[in-house]
Amino acid sequence: MTTALCAGAYLHHMQIHSADPAALARFYADAMDMSARRLDSGDWLLEGPQRRVLFTEGADKALGFAAFACRDRQGLAAIRTRVIAEAADVLPSPSPLFAADAFAVRDPDGNIIVFGLGQPEAPRKGLRGPLQHLTLATKDPDAIEQFYVGVLGFAVSDYVRDEAGQITACWMRSNHEHHTLACFRRSTAGIDHHSYEAGDWSVIKDWCDRMGERRIPIMWGPGRHGPGNNLFVFIEDPDRNWIEISAELEVVHDRAANVWPHEEHTVNLWGRGILRS
Ligand SMILES: [Fe+2]
């Protein structure tokens, strides 16, 4: 059952920890074209058009939680029912941005994933770039895939597997977008990067110009990923969290998951790649 996929869940906001959340708030306000305000909880809330990030005091680069909004109440209720049926714990939502009907789950790495309903957003000006996906670093991508697919009902769009058949990378979707959550095999668990979807190449150029004006270096790209076929650039924030700005991410309707050879998926492909069938 593709419960999360049927619920049309999308990455609505995230909370990231930092030893200096005020410094991160200043960086995102300036670089990522967002407004910053301090909440009663002490968190910094950064908001731009269709993008929201919370920063709270803690260990640098740790994920507080990732919050997915569902299309409607039925979708939200279906995920809760599915989680209970799979014998996973339903936890209280830690998010100040969702209402009381939101709830959370804990994945095998201890990441807190929240599901709720988004509130209507007043029109905002700013560069296009809705918050779009979170990529986790994990020592055990097979366990991550089994949780998000087997317990929550995400669908797999693409895999990378090693010679032993173990997953080294996995891109999973919870709506029509190629991935809303991904994981890479790493030596430590946590956030690998999070991403904003600029829509088309000309807007990525505008983002690059914005970074250039601020002397913020582009760390990787421009390039085009194999899985997802999206154009990308990466920058990093003062805590060295990697931020992706993406465009032209594949829309998936009903295709089967692809498997990519390990050596092909991370290079700048510019639309070219080799699929292992
Ligand atoms: Fe990404």
Which tokens belong to 221?
């790209």
Half-sphere exposure of 222 (CA within 13 A, CB side): 18
Q: Would you tell me how many other CB atoms lie within 10 Å of the CB of residue 277?
A: 5
Question: Can you give the pLDDT at residue 263?
Answer: 56
Dist. CA 11 → ligand 1 center (Å): 13
pLDDT in tens, the chain (277 residues): 899 999 999 999 999 999 999 999 999 999 999 999 999 989 999 999 999 999 999 999 999 999 999 999 999 999 999 999 999 999 999 999 999 999 999 999 999 999 999 998 888 999 999 999 999 999 999 999 999 999 999 999 999 988 888 899 999 999 999 999 999 999 999 999 999 999 999 999 999 999 999 999 999 989 888 899 999 999 999 999 999 999 999 999 989 999 987 655 554 444 444 343 3
User: Cα separation of 244 and 239, whole Å?
Assistant: 15
Strands 44-48 and 51-57 turn out to be antiparallel
Q: DSSP secondary structure string, the chain?
A: --HHHHTT-EEEEEEEEES-HHHHHHHHHHHTT-EEEE-TTS-EEEEETTEEEEEEESSTT-EEEEEEE-SSHHHHHHHHHHHHHTTPPPEE---SSS-TT-EEEE-TT--EEEEE-PPP-----S-S--EEEEEEEES-HHHHHHHHHHTS--EEEEEEE-TTS-EEEEEEESSSBS-SEEEEE-SS-EEEEEEEEEESHHHHHHHHHHHHHTTPPP-EEEEE-STT--EEEEEE-TT--EEEEEESPPB-SSPPPEEE-GGGSSS--TT----B-
Strand order in the sheet with 155-161: 220-224, 231-236, 242-247, 190-199, 131-138, 181-185, 167-173, 155-161, 258-260
CA of 179 to the centre of ligand 1 (A): 9
Expressed in angstroms and rounded, the spacing between residue 42 Cα and the centre of ligand 1 is 29
Q: What is the DSSP secondary-structure string of 172-200?
A: EESSSBS-SEEEEE-SS-EEEEEEEEEES
At 196 the pLDDT is: 98
Instruction: State the distance from the centre of ligand 1 to the C-alpha of 100, rounded, in angstroms.
Output: 30
Q: What is the pLDDT of residue 277?
A: 31
How far away, in angstroms, is 104 Cα from ligand 1 center?
A: 23
pLDDT for res 164: 87
**b or e along 16-36 (b: 16 or more beta carbons within 10 Å of the residue's beta carbon)?**
bbbeebeebbebbbebbbbeb
What's the confidence (pLDDT) of residue 165? 86
Amino acid of residue 128: R
Q: Can you give the pLDDT at residue 226?
A: 86
The one-letter code for the residue type at 125 is K
Say how many Å lie between the CA of residue 171 and the centre of ligand 1.
9
- The amino acid sitting at 129 is G
pLDDT value of position 123? 87
**95 in Cβ contact with 110 (< 8 Å):** no
Å from CA of 134 to ligand 1 middle: 7
Neighbours of ion ligand 1 (CB under 5 A): 135, 195, 244
What is the distance in A from the centroid of ligand 1 to the CA of 195? 6
For residue 261, the model assigns a pLDDT of 76
pTM: 0.94
